[in-house]
A and B are shown apart, each in its own frame.
Chain A
């Protein structure tokens, strides 16, 4: 079956612009996670969804970052007024359920470059 997909695969934007990153999880997966991979910070958790609710937003670095999930499926991560330090690879993952033993399946990521 289809894995996790993300779009766009690459995004170049100018400082101050808003960007939207999309994630399509594996069908039927109830839990969805966003992570960020950057050279300086490694792999960091951003936000977690269970269904359409986000019980854990603790990793969002600032109020410029927001995310939503609709229909228990597609999720969008929005970065407003982008800064150069936002440049990173944004990864989405999904798992069948929320659980410590559950495997998270990752998408290919969106590479964001802020000029």
Chain B
């Protein structure tokens, strides 16, 4: 079945550092790919998404490119802030899997000032 693998955390960075959180997926069809973020004490929020190969999703300085050839959707940000500290989830949705979201395990990001 469909699955998502993301790098284990926690990831600890200093403010203004460059962030990469790796995400790879396995899917039989042509899924849409998502990054969701969960800030401390809050619910899941969509951060960005991409619905077809080579699409780039971007929001709040974060971006990720849908790479079909490497089945990846890595999350990047050029300069992180303390307020970016959260748990980040990579997820996919596919017709073959009934449009339910299949999530990775989540990556904790801690940004120090």
Residues of A within 8 A of B (CB): 31, 33, 35, 42-43, 45, 48, 55-56, 58-59, 91, 93, 98-109
Return the CB mask of B42-82 against A: 1 if under 8 Å, else 0.
11111001010000000000000000000000000000000
Q: Does B105 contact A (CB under 8 A)?
A: yes
Count A-B pairs with CB separation below 8 Å: 59
Task: Give Cα A114–Cα B98 distance, bound, in whole angstroms.
Answer: 31
21 A–B contacts, CB within 8 A, in A order: A43-B103, A43-B106, A45-B100, A45-B102, A48-B100, A55-B98, A56-B98, A59-B100, A100-B30, A100-B31, A100-B32, A100-B94, A100-B99, A101-B49, A101-B93, A103-B49, A104-B101, A106-B43, A106-B45, A108-B42, A109-B43
Q: Which residues of B contact A31 (CB under 8 A)?
A: 99
Residues of B within 8 A of A (CB): 30-32, 34, 36, 42-46, 49, 51, 89, 91, 93-95, 98-106
Task: Give Cα A3–Cα B68 distance, bound, in whole angstroms.
Answer: 33
Q: Which residues of B contact A45 (CB under 8 A)?
A: 100-102
A96 → chain B closest CB, angstroms: 12
**CB <8 Å contact, A42 and B43:** no
Known: A100-B32, A105-B46. A48 touches B99 (CB 8 A): yes
Residue of B nearest to A56 (CB): B98
**CB <8 Å contact, A91 and B43:** yes
Task: Give Cα A94–Cα B4 distance, bound, in whole angstroms.
Answer: 21
B86 → chain A closest CB, angstroms: 14
Given A33-B101, A42-B103, A103-B49, 17 further pairs, Cβ under 8 A: A35-B101, A43-B89, A43-B106, A48-B98, A58-B98, A59-B100, A93-B101, A99-B99, A100-B93, A100-B94, A101-B49, A103-B46, A104-B46, A104-B93, A106-B43, A106-B45, A109-B43
